[in-house]
């Protein structure tokens, strides 16, 4: 049973914006780095962006740099993904994932197997 809950997906025209949210129980959220991955039918799940547990480091896939922004709100146990200038190629199911780390760990984790907790995904569809 997924303990991470994603929301905010939907249908948007190219050039538009969406904001995804990922909420987790505090015992998970407060101890973890968080990433977003995305997947299209017939393809592997791919890394999109990661934020460290402290929030001090962020890492973006080249395909989304300058358009997507990840942030975390510790008071709400929520990570946000602001997606601007959306393109049809951004159409996918977006998954939130969390990896327990120590607070000072600002390393880059972009592999599926790095992450211990996953959400069920939210569909993002960008029309041309």
pLDDT at 84: 98
pLDDT at 1: 60
Q: Which long-range contacts (CB under 8 A, 24 or more apart) does 48-56 make?
A: 48/81, 48/94, 49/81, 50/108, 50/109, 50/110, 51/79, 52/101, 52/105, 52/106, 52/107, 53/101, 53/102, 53/103, 53/105, 54/103, 54/104, 54/106, 56/106
pLDDT at 20: 98
**Residues of the chain whose pLDDT is less than 50?**
none
pLDDT at 76: 96
At 82-101, the pLDDT tens digits run 999 999 999 999 999 999 99
């Amino acid at each position: 049973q997924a303990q991470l809950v994603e929301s905010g997906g939907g249908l948007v025209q190219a050039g538009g914006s969406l904001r995804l949210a990922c909420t987790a129980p505090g015992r998970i959220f407060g101890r973890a780095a968080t990433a977003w991955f995305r997947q299209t039918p017939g393809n592997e799940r791919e890394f999109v962006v990661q934020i460290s547990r402290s929030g001090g480091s962020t890492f973006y896939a080249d395909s989304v740099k300058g358009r997507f922004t990840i942030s975390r709100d510790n008071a709400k146990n929520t990570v946000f993904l602001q997606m601007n200038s959306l393109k049809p190629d951004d159409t996918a199911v977006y998954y939130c994932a969390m990896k327990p780390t120590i607070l000072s760990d600002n390393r880059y984790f972009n592999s599926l197997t790095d992450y211990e907790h996953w959400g069920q995904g939210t569909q993002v569809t960008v029309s041309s």
